[in-house]
Amino acid sequence: MLEKLNLLQSLEIKHVNLLKEIQMLEREAKNLNIDTTATEELDKLLLRLESLNKDLKKMSHESGQLNEELKTVEQKYEENVNPKEIESVYDKANIIKEQIFKAEDKELSIMEKMEVLEKEVNFLKSSIESKTINYKKQKDFFAENLKALTVKLQDNDDEIKVIREQMKQEILAQYDLLKSKLSLPVIVALNNGYCSVCGMEQPSYIGNENLVTCVNCSRIFDGSHRS
């Protein structure tokens, strides 16, 4: 009977520990969050890239227009025979050329900025990708562990049920009463005549009856002293 009681207690302690493990894992899984700062940063970069792209289009449209203008002016230049007008047309052409040069310069600097940004975007994208993979892995890990622990708990509880059914009702009642009043363990060792939990010395005559309890804390001795 003591053997069964010892086994029951160890299964019930295991039940408590498994529950604790499950709760801890559930808490950890709840705290598992995907880091969104990189995604936010990526959105910002993409917006900047978009606005640069708009600028670039505007600039190339502008330089296209300037080139058309230059063509017209140069045509006039070729057609014109009036020397006075030739000079003013020449000046105009030079001004337009200068504008075209500036516009192309701007286009180049925009393209350079875009290139840098695109590199950053690619870096962020791959970093987000690996973070997402990692997050999923961790999530799967928690889910698998939780499942395994739940199965373990169920098996353990089934075992507890079987043992309880095999035990005498009055012994179970005594054990459960102790459990409700004291914390586990309630089946304890007797070490050289002393209770291993409360430390009280026990009268020397004990040790042969079934279910010997501590004179102080009422815990049941596990029988290991009787060999």
Contact residues for 43 (Cβ-Cβ < 8 A; gap 6+): none
Identity of the residue, 18 or 214, whose beta carbon is nearer to Zn ion in the bound complex: 214
CB 211 to Zn ion: min, Å: 14
* CA angle, 158 then 142 then 137, to 5°: 145
CB 17 to Zn ion: min, Å: 23
> Cα–Cα distance between 108 and 105 in angstroms, integer?
5
Q: Could you give the 3-state DSSP secondary structure of residue 77?
A: helix
CB 214 to Zn ion: min, Å: 3
CB 221 to Zn ion: min, Å: 9
H helices then E strands: how many in the chain?
Answer: 4, 4
CB 199 to Zn ion: min, Å: 7
Identity of the residue, 132 or 196, whose beta carbon is nearer to Zn ion in the bound complex: 196
Binding region for Zn ion (CB under 5 A): 195, 198, 214, 216-217
CB 202 to Zn ion: min, Å: 8
Q: Please, are residues 18 and 153 in contact by the beta-carbon 8 Å criterion?
A: yes
Q: Which residue has the tokens 């709760």?
A: 23
CB 174 to Zn ion: min, Å: 15
Q: Are strands 194-195 and 220-221 parallel, antiparallel or unpaired?
A: unpaired
Q: Please, are residues 96 and 42 in contact by the beta-carbon 8 Å criterion?
A: no
Identity of the residue, 187 or 214, whose beta carbon is nearer to Zn ion in the bound complex: 214
Identify the H or E element spanning 227.
Answer: none
Comparing C-alpha atoms, which of 140, 184, 150, 158 is closest to residue 22? 150
Largest CA distance in the chain: 139
Q: Please, are residues 149 and 19 in contact by the beta-carbon 8 Å criterion?
A: no
